Amino acid sequence: MAGILEFLSAGYFHKSVNVDENCLRWQNGLVSKLHKSIGTLLGLFTCTVFAKELLGDHIHCIRFSEETQVSEASFNSYCYISSTFTLPHEQSSEDHPYPGVGPVQQDTDPVHHSYYQWVPYLLFLQAISFYTPYTFYKFSQDGRISSLLQNLQNVLPYNENREDKLGDIHIYLQDFYGSHTWWARKLMISDFLNLINIVFNIIIMDWYLGSNFLTYGPTVISYQMGNYPSDPFDNIFPKMTKCTLALYGPSGTVQNYDGLCVLPINVLNEKIYFLLWILLFPVAVLTVIDQGFWLVMVVSKQLRNSLLCSFVLSSRPQIRQRLRKILESLPFSDWLVLYLVARNIDSVLFTGLAEKIHPPGLGYFPEEDE
């Protein structure tokens, strides 16, 4: 039995492990993964809303007159593609069975609703926007760190192989010290795009929902706790609306046909945007904190050097001191290369790397040259 299990598992445990760029922790850290997850969730919402519309479960209207040649399907289509309307809540009476639905007076200014037609398209564009920083990162990363870490990520049985790979990284650094400036800038820009994107999405959704998105979450929570008089779901996403279709009669006069329209699509929309409010604002706060951290790292050389030295084993203080002296002569771009390497290997391997690398210009093997 042991021999059979060894034969079946040999292909999984004896082959090398490829380093996936998705495992690298610069753009694919916690904040970046949350942004990518929101993009995936928005894509799922887009498919759900589109499917609900394709199944015809987006609007159902009730006509009050049967003396017309307009079919129910035509009336539903007209009301959906034109717009439905409700009365402002301050002009609607509590005697009416549905909020915002009642007789239209001459001085009444109805509120028209047509934004639900564009919800799936907006969600689709938002999903693309959340994937844009990730895509830009994939092009900017160019596989540089994954190539350096390819063999170190494997479980190598011989110390000589690990030592050779650490030596290869040292040779690479000696060859390319000072040449990572544009590469680091692209990574910084791709990371900063996350902050720009989430702020832009919040502003767009607030404008799209009539300046109601920023307060949407607190209002819903207050209503559920009994501290808000009217249902915010009905204020922003009404489920019962009115629609008026104007037709020409036999004598050429205009005849208006009213109908009550049920919007099942808004039951889905209100939950989607409430969930987006719950997700976007905490992620926005985390993104601001993350960008503040990296701003400190760019500005303060002492702090970023201390951070990188913390990856060296505490039992090797002399190597920490040696690495700190090397970092004093390195710009942020070269520090970023070492930081990405340090975050993607364990402390033992990075301690070995810190013992092998040398400041720029000393050559590959300065001890042998001396």
The H-assigned helical ranges of the chain are 2-13, 30-54, 72-81, 119-141, 144-148, 159-176, 181-208, 216-224, 232-236, 264-299, 301-309, 317-327, 332-343, 347-356, 366-369
pLDDT of 276 > 80? The answer is yes
Q: Note the pLDDT tens digit of each residue in 152-197.
A: 755 555 666 777 888 888 888 888 888 889 999 998 898 899 999 9
Token readout for 297 is 């790292």
Q: What range defines the domain where residue 358 resides? A: 2-369
HSE, side-chain direction, 13 A CA sphere, residue 142: 9
Strand partners, 241: 261
What pLDDT is stored for residue 209 in this prediction?
84
Mean pLDDT of 106-127: 78
What pLDDT is stored for residue 347 in this prediction?
87
pLDDT of 364 > 90? The answer is no
DSSP H or E segment with residue 244: strand 240-248
The structural domain count of the chain equals 1
pLDDT of 369 > 80? The answer is no
Between 200 and 78, whose confidence is greater?
A: 200
25-39, 64-78, 216-230, 325-339: the lowest-pLDDT one: 64-78
205-219, 304-318, 354-368: the lowest-pLDDT one: 354-368
Cα–Cα distance measured from residue 338 to residue 169, given in angstroms and rounded to the nearest whole number: 10
Percent of the chain, pLDDT > 90? 26
pLDDT of 110 > 90? The answer is no
Helices 181-208 and 30-54: crossing angle in degrees, nearest 10, is: 40
Question: Among candidates 226, 217, 187, which has minimal Cα distance to 280?
Answer: 217
The answer to whether 170 touches 353, Cβ cutoff 8 Å, is: yes
Helices 119-141 and 30-54: crossing angle in degrees, nearest 10, is: 150
Token readout for 96 is 């009416």
The conformation of residue 23, written as its DSSP 8-state character, comes to G
How would you classify residue 63: left for phi > 0, otherwise alpha for psi between -120 and 50, otherwise beta? beta
Cα–Cα distance measured from residue 150 to residue 321, given in angstroms and rounded to the nearest whole number: 28
Q: Note the pLDDT tens digit of each residue in 326-348.
A: 999 899 999 999 998 888 888 88
What pLDDT is stored for residue 11 in this prediction?
47
Q: Note the pLDDT tens digit of each residue in 205-250.
A: 998 888 888 888 888 888 777 666 666 777 778 877 777 777 766 6
Cα–Cα distance measured from residue 17 to residue 150, given in angstroms and rounded to the nearest whole number: 8
- Per the prediction, the chain carries an average pLDDT of 78
As a whole number of Å, the CA-based R_g of the chain is 31
What pLDDT is stored for residue 10 in this prediction?
47
23-32, 37-46, 241-250: the lowest-pLDDT one: 23-32
